Structure 1
Amino acid sequence: MKVNTEKIPLETDQGIIESEERRWGLPLKEVYKHGLLFYKDKEGKAMHLSYEDKLKLVAYTQQTAHGPLDVNSVPPLGVLDVIGRDRRAAWQALGHMSQIQAMAGFIHTLDRLCPSFRPYIEAIQKDFEDKKEQEVKKEQQLKNHKELEDRVLLERDSHNSAKLTEEEQVQRVKDALNAQSYEQFYEYAQQQFPDNVDHQAVLIRQLQDKHYQEYIQQLAVDERLAKSHINFNEEDTFETNDAKKDCNSNDTDIIDSKEIQVSDQFESEYKEDSRGGDSEPDDGLPGIDEARMWCRGSVEVFKQSARDNGGTLTVAHGETVTVRVPTHSTANAICWEFATDYYDIGFGLYFEWSKSPTSEVTIHVSESDEEGDCDDDEYPDEEYTIEGNSRDPEMGRGKHLVVHTRPMVSLVVPIYRRDCHTEVYAGSHTYPGEGVYLLKFDNTYSLWRSKTLYYKVYYTQ
Structure 2
Amino acid sequence: MSTITSKKEVKTIWDIPLESLYSLVTDFYKKEKDTIVLDYEQKIRLLAFFKQEKLGPFSSDKDSDTGYFDVVGSHRRKAWISLRDMSNEEARQGLIKLLDAATPRLKDYALQRWREEQRQLEKENCQDQREEKITQSAPTPPKPVAMKSVLAPAALWCTPKAARDFISQISTSPDHRVEVGPGEALTIQVPTSTKASAIFWEFVTEKEDIGFGLRYQRSPGEGVATYPVDQLLPVTKRDCSEDLILGSHQYMTQGTYMLQFDNSHCTSCKIVYYKVFYQTSTPSQ
Q: TM-score range by the shorter chain?
A: 0.3 to 0.5
TM-score, normalised to structure 1's length?
0.29
Going by fraction, where is helix more abundant, 1 or 2? Answer: 1
Going by fraction, where is strand more abundant, 1 or 2? Answer: 2
Q: Which has the higher contact order (CA 8 A, sep 6+)?
A: 2
